[in-house]
A and B are shown apart, each in its own frame.
Chain A
Amino acid sequence: MMQEPQEVVEETVTIEEDPGTPSSHVSVVTSDDGTTRRTETKVTKMVKTVTTRTVRQVPLGPDGLPLPEGSSPLGSYTDSIDRRYMKNGGDRFITPHATSTLTRSYNNSYNDSYGETPESQYVRHYGLHDGYADLTDNYGSLSRGVNLRPPRYPYLPNSYRPENSYTLPVRKDDYGHVAQPQVPMGSSTVDVNRSQPERFQAEPYGLEDDRRSLGPEEEEPYELEPDYSTANRRTLQGANRGRTHREPLRDMPRVRGYPEEAIEAELIDERHPYIHGIYSAPLAQPERGSMASLDRTGGRRSPSIDSIRKDPRWRDPDLPEVIAMLGHPIDPVKSNAAAYLQHLCYENDKIKKDVRQLKGIPVLVGLLDHPKSEVHRKACGALRNISYGKDNDNKVAIKICDGIPALVRLLRKTNDMEVRELITGTLWNLSSYEPLKMVIINHGLQTLTNEVVIPHSGWEHEPNEDSKPRDAEWTTVFKNTSGCLRNVSSDGAEARRRLRECEGLVDALLHALQSAVGKKDMDNKSVENCVCIMRNLSYHVHKEVPGAERFQDPSALQAPGSAGPQRKKKDDAGCFGGKKAKEDWFNQGRKNGENDKNYDTLDLPKRSEPSKGFELLYQPEVVRLYLSLLTESQNYNTLEAAAGALQNLSAGQWTWSNYIRATVRKEKGLPILVELLRSDSDKVVRAVSIALRNLSIDRRNKDLIGSYAMRDLVSNLPSGQQRPAKNLEEDTVVAILNTIHEIVTDSSENARSLAQAQAIEKLVAINKTSQSARETKAASHVLQTVWSYKELRNALTKDGWNKSHFQATMTTTPKATKNGKPGYDDTTLPLMEKSQDGYSTIDQREKDCKYKAVDGSVDQTEREPLKNDTNRKHYIRSNRPAVSLVDACDVKPQPVDSWV
């Protein structure tokens, strides 16, 4: 066994995402995000708007009646629908064009004639939809745009209409009616639509809003889309009219933030009434036509609203009803029910539990395979919210009904970004529960890698010579997926093996990280996730990687050819030697058994072919990557993970860890690490400290670290009276003590610098007074080692120390009983086992000496940076807070202990 200086596996349990984001469901979505309050608001609004809503199809939503409204709806609309189109290609759009043309003419010609649509028509229309009012409330966002819509109806797919109508839970007849199709609906709609409002409303506002809310990518589809095309044209025509109005309107949605389309939608609804009142006045004069229509709309609404309000027949469906609606034969009912469920579940653990107990989860999972995107999207949204939270039973319930394979299946099938976000978000949530990790690996690993990680990382299997390497895209989908993989990567050796051997995964992660470093964009969550995965996969590489045994014996380096390919990229070619001459020298050295020379000059074996897959994990090139992250990132988790990766890679005694240790030095990584000893983050200090310890297995590193890191290490130690600024946890203090021990072992020189760093006083204090048995033990080991150097005793005695200070204290305290003997099962304290390590043998020392002699020159260059480092002013630390030094007992939660 090696002294396994504590490699790190990381467990991230937290990752569940805020469901709040499931933005785009135009219709229902609103509710998702919405807190209760919002919902209520909606209701009110809804009532007012009711007429509109009924008519409109939820999905289409965009053309909102009133100009102002229309705009935002478009945005949301686009969001959900456009994406689909984007990815699916142009086929669908053909139809739209035709439509658009039609519509336009429609608009033009009909404006006049229809503008005067008789009230009766409206009334009729409304009458039909009364039933829906209740539903509408919940879905508030859905209905807005009705007025504008009309023209489209004829062209719209059947599926859309039903949605609106179906929202109503209560009336079955209504469903039938609506469901039925277009004919009846269409005609009525058309009539309604004709009311001129179309033109005015849609045009100016619609465009503005859409563009704003949509990313540039989405614009295209927008135009192509039939519905949108209509909108656009209208806009063009009516652009001038709208402008005045626009400003005020726009502001509203902005305030809330575009990402949340749902919210936008809500706002719009709310505004409607007000907007009309306020803005119509100014417009009225210039644009008579448009105004007229607006007015009409307003007029229409109020009656219907009133009637709805007063109608006692409508109510919100209760939970069993909603779940029952998931099985309704009509698709829009299903999707609306699912969306409503998502909304209900948002931040409501009780409802989640109820849904589970009412057997709603299997039904939702079943809907994932539904061919209609509206349906599986909404089902997915509901599952995501349900899977979020501490209640693991919900996660298990999803797993039991084969939800994980179903999600993965859908991920393969869909190109809709939003759906992909929802799927990966759900998987991320699920991955936080231990027993599900392997299930996710079994069903989803390769799919997640192929469908998300690789494409978003910018990595390409067969890089095209002409094309520039692509950068990673930090999309939500990528963030979710990397978070999910981060979680599952902590599930033990088998999980690590699966991830390492997953084709393309390591390559893509590495590429993504390199692109992050290249763009200096290293603080985001995706980067953190990627580094954590890399760190976890680096854990125990020297034991777990296939063929690792070939590299095990440090004194028998592999011939360059067999050592494995190392050069990964052309642009890295210059990084490491590999000249012919050096290689010869290298081989010679090998024959002579002077391997250490090689480490020092870093003559890495030349690769015959680029390394790939898990080999990349431990190629010396990664050192530069991790060091860049350590230098640049401000994210503590990323820093910890990067240091942890170096820690893992520099552990163990195989060839590659030798290379890694030397490469860190060569890349001037030691000063970077030492600098981080001053970090405010406990876990960063700990990871860095252990990394330094592993690195000091390399003799030269040990010398350098001993010379230049000692002060920073010592300053992190607690001392009785002068409390260090940082309130480091016991683990961290122990890690630092162990690192110090490693550094002073076999090096009286380092022991001397330890004494010069005023460490003895602190060590004695810890040894005597610490309530932590582990701290005491670790400090005692250091002291014993220091005392073992006879050449130092003189100086130590002069400073007032005597032998008793360096002996293990068997004080009166109970902790003393734990002192001393191994058998103490603690990975951070391999001190006793340490002696077994090959590196501390005499043999090793001899080698070290030789190698030192050989490399005098290298020595100096390397010291430079370190020197600079030590020249820096030492940090003045504020006093340690009074509470919370750690007390003795290890296992149980540590009792409070306060300095006074």
Chain B
Amino acid sequence: MSFMPGQPLTAVVQRIQIEKLRHGENLILGFSIGGGIDQDPGQNPFSDDKTDKGIYVTRITPRGPADVAGLRMGDKIMQVNGWDMTMVTHDRARKRLTKKNEDVVRLLVTRRSLEEAVKQSMGSYPRQ
């Protein structure tokens, strides 16, 4: 998911739509995020590239909305409702996700397994 400046960025992404769960006054997505451009990327256990300051899913509440929607721990969030999440602060990302007036968030995420799957299929294709 990391990219070299100047190089075209390709990412295999998956759309995930999560319906927030109302929990008291709060709307809950049921996962937690880490990362952001204001955080130490070296401590992100999920990224391949330890300079990647993207937003990652760090925890999922079992059977929570995110879990149900198919979000996985370690997913990198690329967009939230169309907003770019690859160059935002941690807090900005959190706010994008927790807007009170939005009951649904549409995420664009990418994960290692997706990329690998695509690579394999693509790899096999050209070879032929």
Contacts and interface: CB of A to CB of B under 8 A. Distances in A.
Bin chain A's interface residue count: 20 to 34
Nearest to A878: B24
Interface string A216-256: 00000000000000000000000000000000000000000
B35 interface: yes
A771 B59 CA distance: 7
A720 interface: yes
A770 interface: yes
Residue of A764, A815, A883, A897 ringed by the most chain B CB atoms within 10 A: A897
Interface in A790-831: 811-815
30 contacts: A720-B61, A720-B62, A721-B28, A722-B23, A764-B62, A769-B59, A769-B60, A769-B61, A770-B59, A771-B58, A771-B59, A812-B74, A813-B73, A813-B74, A879-B26, A888-B45, A888-B58, A889-B43, A894-B43, A895-B34, A895-B39, A895-B40, A896-B39, A897-B34, A898-B90, A898-B94, A899-B59, A900-B28, A900-B29, A900-B32
B24 A879 contact: yes
B17 interface: no
Interface string B70-87: 000110000000000000
Contact of B32 (A765, A879, A885): A885
A590 interface: no
A721 B61 contact: yes
B109 interface: no
B97 A900 contact: yes
Contact of B62 (A765, A771, A885, A897): A765
Given A720-B64, A769-B62, A883 B94 contact: yes
Nearest to A719: B61
Interface in A623-660: none
Nearest to B32: A899
Chain A: interface secondary structure? loop
Contacts of A897: 32-34, 58-59
Across the A-B interface, the 10 shortest Cβ-Cβ residue pairs: A720-B61, A814-B45, A900-B97, A769-B59, A898-B94, A899-B32, A895-B43, A897-B34, A900-B29, A889-B43
Interface in A855-900: 879, 882-883, 885, 887-889, 892-900
Nearest to B36: A896
Contacts of B32: 771, 885, 897-900
A765 B43 contact: no
A882 B59 contact: no
Interface of A: 720-722, 764-765, 768-771, 811-815, 879, 882-883, 885, 887-889, 892-900
A721 B23 contact: yes
A900 B105 CA distance: 11
Interface in B41-76: 42-46, 58-62, 64, 73-74
A896 B42 CA distance: 13
Nearest to B89: A896
Given A721-B64, A771-B32, 13 more contacts: A721-B28, A764-B62, A769-B60, A813-B46, A883-B94, A885-B59, A887-B58, A895-B40, A895-B43, A895-B44, A896-B90, A899-B28, A900-B98
A771 B35 CA distance: 13
Contacts of B45: 771, 813-815, 888-889
Nearest to B105: A900
A291 to B, nearest CB: 69
Contacts of A722: 23
B43 A892 contact: yes
A893 B43 CA distance: 9
Contacts of B62: 720, 764-765, 768-769
A244 to B, nearest CB: 63
Interface of B: 23-26, 28-36, 39-40, 42-46, 58-62, 64, 73-74, 90-91, 94, 97-98
B61 A765 contact: yes
B53 to A, nearest CB: 11
Contacts of B44: 895
B30 A720 contact: yes
B69 to A, nearest CB: 13
A882 B30 contact: no
Contacts of B26: 879
B78 to A, nearest CB: 16
Contacts of B23: 721-722, 879
Nearest to A771: B58
Contacts of B61: 720-721, 765, 769
B40 to A, nearest CB: 6
Contacts of A771: 32, 34, 45, 58-59
Contact of B73 (A721, A769, A892): A769
A892 B61 CA distance: 25
Contacts of A814: 45-46
> Of residues A879, A885, A898, which shows the largest number of chain B Cβ atoms within 10 Å of its Cβ?
A898
Contacts of A815: 45
A271 to B, nearest CB: 52
A441 B24 CA distance: 56
Contact of A896 (B24, B34, B74, B97): B34
Contact of B30 (A721, A770, A812, A893): A721
Nearest to A892: B43
A887 B32 CA distance: 10
Contacts of A898: 32-34, 90-91, 94
Contacts of B73: 769, 811-813
A768 B58 CA distance: 11
Nearest to B24: A879
Contacts of B90: 896, 898
Nearest to A883: B94
Nearest to A769: B59
A879 B26 CA distance: 9
Nearest to A768: B62
A764 B26 CA distance: 24
B10 to A, nearest CB: 24
Contacts of A764: 62
Please indicate which of the listed interface residues A771, A813, A887, A894 has the most CB atoms of chain B within 10 Å of its own CB.
A887
A610 B51 CA distance: 66
Contacts of B58: 771, 887-888, 897
Nearest to B31: A900
A158 to B, nearest CB: 67
Contacts of B36: 896
Nearest to A893: B40
